[in-house]
């Protein structure tokens, strides 16, 4: 059994840390408890050169010199017009080998540049991307990314479609999975019967290597890392489970307008005709609202036979919320490192016995971890690009951690 995070970025993507490296990704994946990573950005020539220098195939996956497994992965943005509307759809692409990647990149170069951004933008419709990639090798996998994000996704309120078929047309038969994104979870996606025949996967879309980013959403598989087995599991809905943050933690869960500090539920937004009550401009319609629009099943619907999921906020968020330390401060990370010493974050969050938690940390942090483990930490909903925040009355802030 291992956790996979197959949507990451390298240092050449817009908005990412310039310090990203294979070594840093491996280091923090091990700290987090993630057992397989996507390489990110195999379309970028500089990053691809580094990948070829540092990763070698063992016949199943690519591995670093210290044995950590990766599979080749990138993200491509399709920006185009269809049906009289502008469309912006992002897709995660998995590929089985460097040879296949070289062919994909050669084909993409006929349609635009690859060297200006690790996540390149093409004017090609989403079906054309699928045809190009799967035509080169049918073992490539195309996964619509963060499918509910308002601006850049399959079902986005400002750029997307109302159905998988409408977007991908005849190539929909090659779409075997969708990525939830941070503002939705599997239960929200179960409400759409049109998604019954695709796997629901979750990955981090990390832009920096910090453990609160890497693996914050991930997917578990019940075999040793192997590209062919992983693709088969995705295509046959044979994943073990996914790890999700509370959808409220995502930056686009609720409706709102960041400039006016306005955040609303879907019902409240509808009453206002989806208009900001302060500036009277259109609200950014969030994921919950969009799910409600497209769902043909009621809220709370439980799908039969679907893989389970675990709802967890990152450990660093819990420490920060309880202690008041900033999430990136030395004090927060000193405490984090004491908790994960000799193990990893996922083991702490999911498996460490209560007695051991209380031995390693302050009792209020231990209590918050146990609440987090069973999904009892409430989160104030994110909106219009603003992350959600743990609600302190569900955690009880401890102003000092003393000697812990």
Structure tokens at 255: 């409706």
Give the model's pLDDT for residue 403. Answer: 45
CA 394/CA 376 separation, integer angstroms: 8
pTM of the model: 0.95
- How many other CB atoms are there within 10 angstroms of residue 20's CB atom? 23
- Got the DSSP string for 237-251? T---EEEE--GGGST
How are beta strands 262-264 and 255-257 bridged, if at all?
Answer: antiparallel
Structural domain 2-246, CATH architecture? Alpha-Beta Barrel (3.20)
Show pLDDT as tens, one digit a residue, over the chain (404 residues): 999 999 999 999 998 888 899 999 999 999 999 999 999 999 999 999 999 999 999 999 999 999 999 999 999 999 999 999 999 999 999 999 999 999 999 999 999 999 999 999 999 999 999 999 999 999 999 999 999 999 999 999 998 999 999 999 999 999 999 999 999 999 999 999 999 999 999 999 999 877 779 999 999 999 999 999 999 999 999 999 999 999 999 999 999 999 999 999 999 999 999 999 999 999 999 999 999 999 999 999 999 999 999 999 999 999 999 999 999 899 999 999 999 999 999 999 999 999 999 999 999 999 999 999 998 999 999 999 999 999 876 665 555 555 44
Give the model's pLDDT for residue 19. Answer: 84
Q: What does the domain layout of the chain look like in residue ranges? A: 2-246, 312-394
Residue pair 114/123 in contact (Cβ under 8 Å)? The answer is no
Give 204-208 contacts, CB < 8 A, sequence gap 24+. Answer: 204/5, 204/7, 204/8, 205/7, 205/8, 205/9, 205/75, 205/145, 205/146, 205/181, 206/5, 206/7, 206/8, 206/9, 207/9, 207/13, 207/15, 207/16, 207/17, 208/16, 208/17, 208/19, 208/20
Give the model's pLDDT for residue 167. Answer: 98
- Got the DSSP string for 148-205? T-SSSSTT-TTT--SSHHHHHGGGGGG--EEE--TT--HHHHHT-GGGTTSEEE----
Residue pair 138/145 in contact (Cβ under 8 Å)? The answer is no
């Amino acid at each position: 059994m291992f956790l996979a995070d197959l949507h990451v970025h390298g240092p050449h993507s817009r908005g990412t840390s310039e310090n990203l490296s294979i070594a840093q990704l491996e280091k923090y994946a091990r700290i987090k408890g993630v057992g397989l990573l996507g390489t990110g950005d195999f379309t970028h020539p500089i990053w691809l050169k580094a990948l070829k220098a540092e990763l070698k195939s063992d016949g199943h996956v690519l591995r670093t010199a210290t044995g950590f497994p990766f599979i080749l992965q990138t993200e491509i943005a399709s920006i185009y017009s269809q049906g009289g509307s502008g469309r912006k759809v992002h897709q995660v692409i998995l590929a089985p080998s460097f040879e296949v990647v070289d062919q994909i990149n050669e084909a993409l170069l006929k349609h635009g540049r690859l060297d200006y951004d690790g996540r390149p933008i093409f004017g090609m419709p989403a079906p054309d991307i699928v045809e190009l990639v799967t035509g080169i090798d049918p073992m490539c996998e195309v996964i619509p990314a963060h499918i509910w994000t308002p601006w850049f996704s399959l079902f986005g309120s400002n750029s997307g479609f109302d159905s998988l078929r409408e977007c991908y047309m005849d190539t929909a038969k090659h779409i075997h999975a969708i990525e939830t994104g941070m503002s939705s979870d599997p239960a929200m996606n179960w409400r759409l019967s049109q998604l019954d025949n695709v796997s629901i996967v979750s990955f981090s879309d990390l832009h920096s290597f910090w453990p609160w980013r890497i693996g914050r959403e991930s997917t578990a598989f019940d075999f040793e890392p192997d590209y062919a087995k992983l693709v088969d599991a995705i295509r046959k809905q044979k994943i073990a489970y996914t790890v999700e943050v509370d959808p409220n933690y995502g930056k686009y869960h609720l409706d709102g307008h960041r400039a006016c500090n306005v955040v609303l539920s879907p019902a409240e937004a509808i009453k206002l005709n989806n208009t900001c009550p302060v500036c009277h401009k259109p609200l950014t319609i969030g994921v919950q609202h969009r799910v409600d629009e497209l769902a043909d099943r009621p809220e709370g619907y439980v799908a039969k036979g679907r893989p389970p999921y675990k709802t967890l906020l990152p450990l660093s968020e819990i420490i920060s919320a309880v202690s008041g330390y900033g999430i990136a401060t030395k004090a927060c990370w000193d405490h984090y490192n004491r908790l994960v010493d000799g193990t990893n974050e996922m083991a702490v969050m999911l498996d460490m016995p209560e007695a051991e938690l209380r031995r390693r940390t302050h009792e209020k942090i231990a209590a918050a971890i146990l609440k987090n483990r069973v999904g009892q930490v409430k989160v104030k909903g994110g909106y219009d690009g603003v992350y959600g925040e743990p609600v302190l009355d569900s955690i009880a802030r401890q102003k000092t951690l003393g000697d812990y």
